[in-house]
Structure 1
């Protein structure tokens, strides 16, 4: 396909886990031009991504508009957010600046350039009293992070733009130069050291493989699907369940994994107890097909071997 007929996708937060997976998937597609953006230097190892990288702070309205006017993106995938729930509770001004005002800047630029905004949201907009949730269920966040994500959704829905909101749950995976671990790597590493682990068995999630989430985002763009879509894993699990599955896969000592409940931990921000998503809409309307949690562990295992080879 010649360059002039290709659609341009601009990605914010492209140094993050989902951002990196998206950039790498889009680079393998012939029908798109990808513009990866984020704070600081590009952490993606692919030289094609490094060549196209643009520094962008979404909280700077002029910077956002200037970049949009330079590239005139057909689609914008916003993965940039402050997502550490406890830090959001402690640093509310920073949280609202990125999660609400930053999104408002993207909305403004999308209105100006007629770009379609694909925005990533979260299960934490719900209170966890009646999960798993469908796209139609009413939000009722129990922490500040969830409140900012709900407000961003409201602002997008009220904007005069084409929009898609992709809600997801507990994303896991391996990306380049990432400081944050995930539950699979943490359990594996801890059990290999012979440590005893305590994991809650009263919180439920549908953990999402980062590659599946990236694929879901691309399906939305390819079908130019508008509205809200739940894109997550299909297995409803507790952290304890996830730890046991990890131990099973890597043939590690399950007896070191102990059940506990949420009351045993003191955390600054309240967590919803049972979220997880009903993903029938994405399966039926988009052709979305997520991996099982066990298959996800297998994919991570292969990536670990490649990274260490």
Structure 2
């Protein structure tokens, strides 16, 4: 590791949930000079990092910004991730997820950066769960198609690359601006509201802090290739809701089982994904929190955010 000369790490999508956690964790380490970027003004708390406003869908802007910075590492987390909006606004989605990745890869090649790309379980069909890194991709929605196409660009690039695939990322943004399954279940049950939760969609839910830690391990170890970075527990959404209700001592009778066919959404969801994380454990030393432990972490963060 370089200690006197810190490695410059450039993060896209830094205002998002994962971006926030990455910046927070990287700033806490001595080895990195952190340059966070996002569209528009900085919405990150704290200090110890630089911030650059960057529209990653603008090829010239990307080229100029990264030519000036010449980062050793690029962590590309910026993307259009709302699955239904991707289905309804395909041009925007392609621009954000495929074109932007192409521009960043080109800049990474120029700077000889280690390019770390965050991808998704939605590149898979969902016919079988607990997938390893060699599973065959077959997306069932447009978001998944764009992420797969971006992955293919990364794999063909002429610089050192890694892909961190993840699943159902949850966590708390510093401004409580985002919801997730745990917050939704908790607030619904606290207000005595009945909820319908699908019992036929299975995932390995991932705490945002764990995904950030996995991406940083890839950077620190200068690892290359594809890594599954997710939580360790293979659960249905219904099971996640029950565990959440139990943790907070809320009424489970308000949780009704449903199946995916009862919900009409613009984008189809894969039924069973979830990852086998053996490779990340063995090669990176990645050790994510259980879903139960993660709820405990969120519970503390909720109290802190409100105090």
1:19 alignment counterpart: 19
Gaps of 5+ in 2: none
2:9 alignment counterpart: 9
2:111 alignment counterpart: 113
2:288 alignment counterpart: 290
Where in structure 2 are the equivalents of 1:112-261 lying within 5 Å?
112-177=110-175, 179-261=177-259
Aligned length: 307
- Deviation, 1:175, is 1.1
TM-score by length of 1: 0.97
Q: Secondary structure at the match of 1:100?
A: helix
Deviation string, structure 1 residues 200-258 (Cα, Å, up to 9, x no partner): 00000000000000000010011000000000001011111111111000000111001
- Deviation, 1:65, is 1.4
Q: Secondary structure at the match of 1:198?
A: strand
Q: Secondary structure at the match of 2:196?
A: strand
2:36 alignment counterpart: 36
- Deviation, 1:4, is 5.3
- Measure, in 1, the Cα distance between the counterparts of 2:38 and 2:227: 25
Q: Secondary structure at the match of 2:11?
A: strand
2:85 alignment counterpart: 87
TM-score by length of 2: 0.98
- Deviation, 1:61, is 1.1
- Measure, in 1, the Cα distance between the counterparts of 2:2 and 2:71: 17
Runs of 4+ in structure 1 deviating by more than 3 angstroms, as ranges, are: 1-4
Higher mean alpha-carbon deviation, 171-180 vs 256-265, is at 171-180
Higher mean alpha-carbon deviation, 100-109 vs 3-12, is at 3-12
Gaps of 5+ in 1: none
Q: Give the CA RMSD over aligned residues.
A: 1.2
Deviation string, structure 1 residues 77-114 (Cα, Å, up to 9, x no partner): 00000011111000000000010000000010011111
> CA contact under 8 A between 1:43 and 1:176: conserved in structure 2?
no
